[in-house]
Amino acid sequence: MLCCCRGFGTKISCGIQLWLILHPNCLTRQILNVFYFVDLVCYSIFGPTKFLKKRSRIIGPNFASLGRIIVGEYDEAAEIIQSPQHRSHFLGRAKLYSDRFTEKFVLFLSDKDAGGDDTHMTLHNHLWMSSVPQAMRRLSDPAFNEYIVNTVTITKRMNKNKKRITPVVQKMVVRYMYHAFFGAPLNDDLVNTVEHLFFTSGGASSYIGGGVKPLAAPFRCFQCKRNTAITKVLKFIMKSPSMENYTPSEENTNLSRENYARLLMEIIGIAAIVGSSNLCVSILTKIPDDYPIKMDSRNEVLLAVLEVARLFAPVNNINVVLHKEKKLTINKRGYAFPPGTLVAANIGVANLDSKVFTYPETFNPHRLLLERATLSFNHVGFNPVGSGVRQCPGRNIAVKLAGDLLIESRKNEKFEENVDDSESDYRMMDRS
């Protein structure tokens, strides 16, 4: 296990985890938890791209890791995403303590056809019909363009240095998303508080880190800093214009005012801010400097954003507990996984499946099937119209932010307009 980050050790680790998953009992589950913990640490150290790409290269697109079955084969991952989902308390690479989050946090709610009830669909539709339209209307305020201009002004001096650019982008996205969804700008102190809650890599004081199993267990009674930060942010949300007319009703599943504010804080923090920040950092650091994009064409800009999201998935794992048997091929052998097995549709690996995307690691916004087949925002393909079943309600806001950031970053830059719509040979030089 200690060699899990080396080739041979990786094979052994994945093979043992596969056997443990196929033979569930009290003992094998405890042993599997040890492997989960070791992989969790490796994933956190090396990052999702290196961790996942190495395992998919050694074993194949489907493999056992992080105490679950990672599904990176495009067709299988797409099927998981499109099918009714039975969810539990998992987020990305981590298992979470349920009592550190709201009872009705939508990412943990199952679909009705997968053992859940109507709660997820009700809240999902409420957000799509209520919060998102208000946020989209607010984006016409000049303040939002100012957030972007200021960010580009600062980051242009950083020569695409991801480590330096990331915290600048994170602060901008915090300001942008909170202003859009709540209708009021954040002061510097609140920006720092939200940033710490949702971007601190670990520890009891961060929102997600304070709920990760088993790392947060020793700090269950020592989360004063986390709780103080949450209280401060909730106070802002409950006094914001977006909450002025809130009343519990069937449309919002009768959530109390405080619980609804907490739900919004979780959704916007985990889904909107973290995912959008990852996308925006990739926009500024991963697009080849010599690739021409027509900035006066919103469709060209959209395709560039979708291609960046395909190559560098802002969110990787869609964790689902199987509610019916699923057959998968792992290391050229077929396996049948029973209901109750934890699987993760891995967007980052599936979007590099060469059976679907020719030259998958080539940056080419003009590639065939991009809009129809790319996996993003917990959805297959991209359609700006309609909310889908589990599609991220705020995807249009994230795409607009990323597109406007791209346009601003390319101002005063000229490129040759000779772009072939076939599989062009502009390659990403660094996938770290």
pLDDT one-digit tens code per residue, 285-343:
999 988 999 999 999 999 999 999 999 999 889 999 999 999 999 999 999 999 999 99
What's residue 381's pLDDT? 85
The one-letter code for the residue type at 362 is: T
Domain containing residue 143: CATH number: 1.10.630.10
pTM (predicted TM-score): 0.90
Cα separation, 255 vs 333, in Å, equals 47
Number of domains in the chain: 1
Q: What are phi and psi of 172, to 5 degrees?
A: -60, -45
Cα-based distances in Å from 349 to 27, 317, 332: 31, 10, 17
Look at residue 101 and tell me if it is in a domain.
yes
C-alpha torsion 239→245→248→253, nearest 10: -90
**What Cα–Cα distance (Å) separates residue 233 from each residue in 33, 102, 163, 203, 222?**
34, 15, 27, 19, 19
**Residue 59 class from Cβ within 10 Å (0-12 exposed, 13-18 middle, 19+ buried)?**
buried
* pLDDT of 224: 82
Positions of the chain with pLDDT under 50:
1-5, 415-432
pLDDT of residue 429: 39
What pLDDT is recorded for position 324? 94
CA distances from 176 to 17, 81, 135, 170, 193 (A): 42, 28, 10, 10, 15
Only one residue has tokens 């009830």, namely: 117
Tokens read off for 193? 């508080």
Of 29, 40, 31, the C-alpha closest to 5 is 40
DSSP helix/strand/coil, 327: strand
Q: What does the alpha-carbon distance between residue 123 and residue 107 come to, in Å, rounded to a whole number?
A: 11
Asked whether residue 432 is domain-assigned, the answer is no
Residue 426: per-residue pLDDT: 38
Domain membership flag for residue 384: yes
Maximum CA extent, the chain: 62
Q: Report how far residue 348's alpha carbon sits from residue 313's, in angstroms, rounded to the nearest whole number.
A: 5
CB 217 within 8 A of CB 199: no
Q: What confidence score (pLDDT) does residue 414 get?
A: 56
CA end-to-end span of the chain, whole Å? 24
Q: Which domain holds residue 104?
A: 7-409
pLDDT at 368: 87
Go through the chain and tell me how many residues it has.
Answer: 432
Mode of pairing for the β-strands spanning 68-71 and 342-346: parallel
pLDDT confidence of residue 151? 97
> Is residue 259 a part of any domain in this protein?
yes
In a domain, 49, yes or no: yes
The pLDDT of residue 382: 84
- Tokens for 93, please give them: 């690479």
Residue 422 lies in a domain: no
Q: Is residue 314 part of a domain?
A: yes
* Distance set, CA 13 to CA 18, 35, 117, 246 (Å): 9, 7, 37, 50
Residues 6+ away with beta carbon under 8 Å from 226: 197, 204, 205, 206, 207, 210
pLDDT at 218: 65
- R_g of the chain, CA atoms, integer Å: 21
